[in-house]
Structure 1
Amino acid sequence: MKQKTIANKIEGVGIGLHKGEPIKIVLEPLEADLGIVFYRKDVGISIKANPSSVINTQMATVVGNQNGVFISTIEHLLSAINGYGIDNIRIVLDANEIPIMDGSSISFCMMLDEANIKELDANKKAMIIKREVEVKEGNKFVKMTPSKNPKFDYSIKFNHPIIGYQNYVFEFSKNNYINEISRARTFGFLKDVQMLRSKNLALGGSLENAVVIDDNRILNPEGLRFEDEFVRHKILDAIGDLALMGMPVVGDYTAFAGSHDLNHKLTLAILSDSKNYEIVTLNSELIKEYSQVFA
């Protein structure tokens, strides 16, 4: 199996979640073994997408460098890139955040579809999880365990009548990603939005790009896209956060009340011991063995 990039350059424009200003985004093909690279055109700086580049995980996943250059809210775009099995791509921006689009990853999926997927000459690599790795904080946890048919088993529990307890099990494949996960939007509580705006954050947040909830109802007039849209979006985020590994991570992901922070700590925990994983070059035998994820 070969590494993948996009066949053609594709451009888009969307609103930044925090500044509320239009942001131009350009996705460009990249050669083999170069991975996912962000480029801030406004300052002329490139940042490689990997766990060591992560500098903040409080409200989104943020990558940056030692000079203070950063790019925020990368997880939805990376989720689409991971869902499509793309190994190498350049993301060009004229601002410090990825546009929020509609709060899901479907707009990025549409961009990737328009750009088309291209195979490169180099063989694809994958990270095979060899033993369980878990990160816990109180009753919250995220973990990876060995599996030949990767799944995301995610549970959330909110003390809110609209959300409550939700669980969703997602079997990883591109088609399943598009149909089950990509349209699930980010969500937030009205009181939190008001607090963020008082700090000049979330200025671009609206009912057009998030599910917003007050004390007892959904404020979006169209309602939910899925009955369990909240937990599906958490899976969307996790797929994006794992994309920072730079290659497919083959194993089961399980979480209760996970977060960007726990996902980041999980990637660091996996990489902290080479016995946790094996990096393989995919040949026909391995592809057959892990047929679902590399179909």
Structure 2
Amino acid sequence: MGLGLLGFQTTVSRPVTLSGIGVHSGADVSITFNPAEAGTGVIFQRVHDNGDVTELKAVSSQVGNTDLCTVLGFSAAHSVATIEHVMAAVYALGLDNVVIEVTGAEMPIMDGSSVPFVEAIEQVGLVSLGVKRRYIRITKPVRIEHGGSWCEFRPYDGTRFEVEIDFECPLIGRQKWEGDLTATVFKTELSRARTFGFMRDVERLWASGHALGSSLENSVVISDDNTVINVEGLRYTKDEFVRHKTLDAVGDLALAGAQFIGCYRSYRGGHKMNANALKALLSDPTAYEVVETSTPRQRVTVREFIAVSAPEFAPWSA
């Protein structure tokens, strides 16, 4: 099944720090991944200029705005934005417990992908905490639709993503990525895919106070004549766009608070659709069960998982 399914919870072996700028704020920011005890989950700690700390658990119930990125928290003064690329790396590498200290209101965009976060985590490595990991196993289909877009969870013996996009832009058009997600698959096929945007939208975003840190160093930019402006071109021939949308989906679904066993499919989705699909799943207790395995092997099948009581786990609670 991948995703580091060794049966036990993990954390980072020691702190590791990265620095960059926020893609929307343009402000300098640094983040530090700190070790955490079993059962902690993923916690973001925003350190304010006056020394105060806003603590936010990376779970679905704490998701606020999802218009341009995924935001934890419900007010600008007490929130952390653009968490999806970090969460995708955390999820795909099987990092269960970590406290992410951030010096600003937004994650650093780095190069627009998840690679810098993957490299930082792998630099220090993961350690087992000796406590069994629990998973959310999909037991029946859950689907949401909005306009011409839809997202759904389906039962599956593994963790699988099937993401399809459809843009009027002829450079992008209709693209699909599908595959079982493992740490290796994520690193080789998804992690390097960068965020992208259109030159025609830049002035509108700037006027609204967004994309102030966006540049050719951290975004794929498409010109008005439908060409990639970046000198180096695309990292994945033609379909870097759908690979990045899949990366985003991995990060957004990490807010389940646990790794899931099932297939996630979407057509013309995005942060808001991903968030709403996850909320729809977690609001239906007949659609999933919380399970664990006593078989600490590299690969396990659904048959080797056993259902466990959920209340003390409750990854979807505040």
Q: Normalising by the residue count of structure 2, what TM-score does the alignment of the two structures yield?
A: 0.89
Q: Which residue of 2 aligns with 1:281?
A: 292
Q: Which residue of 2 aligns with 1:249?
A: 260
Q: List per-residue Cα deviations over 1:161-191 (Å, max 9, x = no partner).
A: 2101111112111101100000000100111
Distance 1:70 1:288 in 2: 37
Q: How does 1:1-295 map to 2 (within 5 A)?
A: 1-42=7-48, 43-65=52-74, 68-215=77-224, 216-227=226-237, 228-284=239-295, 288-290=300-302
Per the TM alignment, residue 138 of structure 1 is displaced from its structure 2 partner at its CA by: 1.7
Per the TM alignment, residue 66 of structure 1 is displaced from its structure 2 partner at its CA by: 6.4
Q: Which amino acid aligns with 1:280?
A: V
- Measured at CA, do residues 285 and 44 of structure 1 come closer, stay the same or move farther in structure 2, by a change above 3 Å? closer
**What secondary structure is seen at the aligned counterpart in 1 of 2:249?**
helix
Q: Which amino acid aligns with 2:11?
A: T
List alignment gaps of at least 5 residues for structure 1: none
Q: Which amino acid aligns with 1:31?
A: E
- Measured at CA, do residues 131 and 198 of structure 1 come closer, stay the same or move farther in structure 2, by a change above 3 Å? same
Distance 1:113 1:13 in 2: 17
Per the TM alignment, residue 282 of structure 1 is displaced from its structure 2 partner at its CA by: 2.2
Count residues with an aligned counterpart: 291
Distance 2:158 2:76 in 1: 41
CA contact (8 A) 1:241 1:263 kept: yes
Per the TM alignment, residue 79 of structure 1 is displaced from its structure 2 partner at its CA by: 0.3
**What secondary structure is seen at the aligned counterpart in 2 of 1:56?**
coil
**What secondary structure is seen at the aligned counterpart in 2 of 1:55?**
coil
Distance 1:65 1:152 in 2: 29
Q: Which amino acid aligns with 2:95?
A: I
**What secondary structure is seen at the aligned counterpart in 2 of 1:160?**
coil
- Measured at CA, do residues 94 and 142 of structure 1 come closer, stay the same or move farther in structure 2, by a change above 3 Å? same
Deviating beyond 6 angstroms after TM superposition, the runs of 4 or more aligned structure 1 residues are none
**What secondary structure is seen at the aligned counterpart in 2 of 1:261?**
helix
Tell me the percent identity.
38
Give the RMSD, CA atoms, in angstroms: 1.5
Distance 1:241 1:224 in 2: 24
Per the TM alignment, residue 290 of structure 1 is displaced from its structure 2 partner at its CA by: 4.5
CA contact (8 A) 1:126 1:282 kept: no
Distance 1:180 1:67 in 2: 34
Per the TM alignment, residue 24 of structure 1 is displaced from its structure 2 partner at its CA by: 1.1
Q: Normalising by the residue count of structure 1, what TM-score does the alignment of the two structures yield?
A: 0.95
CA contact (8 A) 2:8 2:296 kept: no
CA contact (8 A) 1:47 1:65 kept: no
Which stretch shifts more, 12-21 or 236-245? Answer: 12-21
Distance 2:77 2:27 in 1: 20
Q: List per-residue Cα deviations over 1:121-157 (Å, max 9, x = no partner).
A: 2100000000000111122011110000322111111
Q: Which amino acid aligns with 1:15?
A: I
List alignment gaps of at least 5 residues for structure 2: 1-6, 304-318
Per the TM alignment, residue 285 of structure 1 is displaced from its structure 2 partner at its CA by: 8.6
Per the TM alignment, residue 58 of structure 1 is displaced from its structure 2 partner at its CA by: 0.2
Distance 1:219 1:66 in 2: 35
